[in-house]
Amino acid sequence: MIYMDNAATTPVHPKVLEAMMPYFNVRYANPSGNYEFARKIRKDVENARSIIAGTLGARPEEIYFTSGGTEGDNWAVKAAAFDRGHGHIISTNVEHKAMLNTLEWIESQGFEKDLAEADGSGIVAPDKIRRLIKNDTFMVSVMAANNEIGTIMPLKDIARSNNLRKRGIIFHTDAVQAYGHIYLNVNDLGVDMLSASAHKFRGPKGAGFIYIRRDTIETSLIHGGSQEMGMRAGTENVASIIGMAKAAQICMETINERRMKETQLRNYMIDRILRTFKGTVLNGTLDNRLPNNINIYFPGINGYSLVSALDRFGVCASAGSACSSASSKPSHVLKAIGLTDQQARSCVRFTLCEDTTAQDVDYLIETLYKIIKV
């Protein structure tokens, strides 16, 4: 099997699994317990919080553990809205469904929303946000990098050129696809909240975190006990928290090497596909793109059929976001950058990792040639 769907999920790193194992049957105490066994586990959880905070330039007390990116996006939007009670939110038309569907629900509760439009490369320019800001705008949410076409958003420019913090506007970013793959510093970017998911950077599924700058929101996500500084009740998923921190640590230690390798292999693969298959087009920009993302338009080919055919040859790819794979609707992201419904249905996403090789890419090209028969 050749796995080229790392944007959907990644395999747990062996060192991550090793770090997690003791917390299932040896270091299994509830960290809220009132005895030494539990206090040791609490210390491990807080150490994990510090590790993750350090990767972002944040304070440990600004990191809250969640079940993943969807929960983080929901928390950010709903807490900001409930704290304010009324007003206006700005996001973009290329966000993940976790954000777009949450905004639809918020709108049904009496809030207003506007979606800034991306250009043909999938980038939302700062002035697109500026034109939408109103007197009662209390939040702007722009993803760090797109999950389908890999476009990296100009977060720093959006925050600074629009004076979001001075205006008292909360700036949130869905960094699920970006975290662990590119450098992110919350202070440099000017964001107040950032959500991430462990399984996108070789951690376990069902674990994530949200960075919330101190004094940004007051509304708790889940009410109950005093876990997560009283903001998210419920016994912590200790093994997964430890695994996520280990994965984050490994990512930061290897990020330069991985980015260089993945970028070179990505460009090699894009070049081969565009030269081999007539009329193919790269969706998104090459220059401002995640190092492992490739999204190709194959004219006259049904993307879902092509993914199924690749599967028969042992290649895993996708025709869009994993969260929308059961939907027959064309990708809202591809339509947002100007593709027609038919064109959007003719696209396939390949996402690489540090274990992908040039031989894997060559096999993919040969397999595509057999299927498409150009």
Give CA separation, 273 vs 26, 188, 295, 321, 334, in Å. 50, 36, 11, 21, 19
- Known active-site residue 323: yes
Residue 230 burial (CB < 10 Å; 0-12/13-18/19+)? exposed
3-state secondary structure of 151: strand
Residue 162 burial (CB < 10 Å; 0-12/13-18/19+)? buried
Distance between CA atoms of residues 13 and 63, nearest Å:
22
Distance between CA atoms of residues 233 and 226, nearest Å:
6
Give CA separation, 305 vs 40, 113, 302, 308, 346, in Å. 52, 36, 5, 5, 9
C-beta separation of 139 from 172 below 8 A: yes
Paired residues of 115 in beta bridges:
91
3-state secondary structure of 45: helix
E strand or H helix that includes residue 138 = strand 137-141
Q: Choosing from 251, 316, 323, 353, which is the catalytic residue?
A: 323
Distance between CA atoms of residues 253 and 313, nearest Å:
34
Q: Of 38, 39, 37, 63, whose CA–CA distance to 49 is shortest? A: 63
Residues 354, 356, 361, 366, Cα dihedral to 10°:
-170
Centre a 10 Å sphere on the Cβ of residue 129 and count the other Cβ atoms it contains. 25
Determine the longest span between alpha carbons in the chain, in angstroms: 69
Distance between CA atoms of residues 80 and 138, nearest Å:
8
Distance between CA atoms of residues 194 and 69, nearest Å:
9
Residues designated catalytic: 323
